[in-house]
Structure 1
């Protein structure tokens, strides 16, 4: 990425790595990647009116659960400071969605990790999958990676 604040698709959010995110070797603990991804996704949706504040959700789309999280580590993140989290949607279905993501240096040159995160929207009363709202569909459309153009 030549411009670390932009991406040709999806969104890039700079998220701070704090001292307590590090392991005994001074590198980002493997379990903290999921937390940092959540910290990148939350402001994106919150700025568009889908948030959880004051003990209440602003939209039923906030009520979802992670079904799967996969990650491949490419290089360690050493020390504290910002990391660029690039995320986009590979799939947005009736009740589920699958994000893809990359953790990169702020200048975009170093790929630290990449993976996917699948979620399912749940009905709070039944805890069963339920359809996304039109609001979520509109917001999600801004994150969907365009299909590659055949050569």
Structure 2
């Protein structure tokens, strides 16, 4: 996977739109945006050694849940092909991480959608919010706006 650093903040990660991502009108189904964002974000973390093996997180900070997710659609992505997800971290709190994202055309000239996703780190033993580690805070510095 290739990521291109945007000037000033975040990363842009290419994504592939497949036929089964499309709705009956031949445009990217609204529910697939969340899946594609998730794949882009997991790929970014995975390149840094934070992933899942055997269905379990490889590091404690990878055990987190989505608290909030919102998206605003601007222009449909029509057909199969390539697009890009520009993502960044607006803020990292004690236990939460406020991600922002934009779905762009492959050449970056069209904003198809934009949104926000807030993750909360959990302690797997208690299922209660837990602080992000210093390691995670160091890794996300390149994503901070």
TM-score (norm 1): 0.91
Aligned to 2:6: 7
Secondary structure of the 1:102 match is strand
Aligned to 1:101: 101
Structure 1: 4+ residue segments shifted above 4 A: none
Secondary structure of the 1:26 match is coil
Counterpart Cα distance in 2 of 1:29 and 1:121: 29
CA RMSD across the alignment: 1.2
Aligned to 1:73: 73
Aligned to 1:149: none
**Displacement, 1:144?**
0.1
Structure 2 residue runs of 5 or longer lacking an equivalent are none
Secondary structure of the 1:23 match is coil
Aligned to 2:18: 18
After TM superposition, the structure 1 = structure 2 runs for residues 14-93 of structure 1, keeping only pairs within 5 Å, are 14-93=14-93
Aligned to 1:123: 123
Counterpart Cα distance in 1 of 2:54 and 2:97: 26
Deviation string 1:77-136 (CA, Å, 9 cap, x unpaired) is 001111110000001011001001000001000110001000100011111000111111
Deviation string 1:52-93 (CA, Å, 9 cap, x unpaired) is 022332100110000011100000000111111000000101
**Displacement, 1:51?**
0.5
**Displacement, 1:29?**
0.4
Secondary structure of the 1:94 match is coil
TM-score (norm 2): 0.94
Secondary structure of the 1:44 match is helix
Counterpart Cα distance in 2 of 1:56 and 1:120: 17
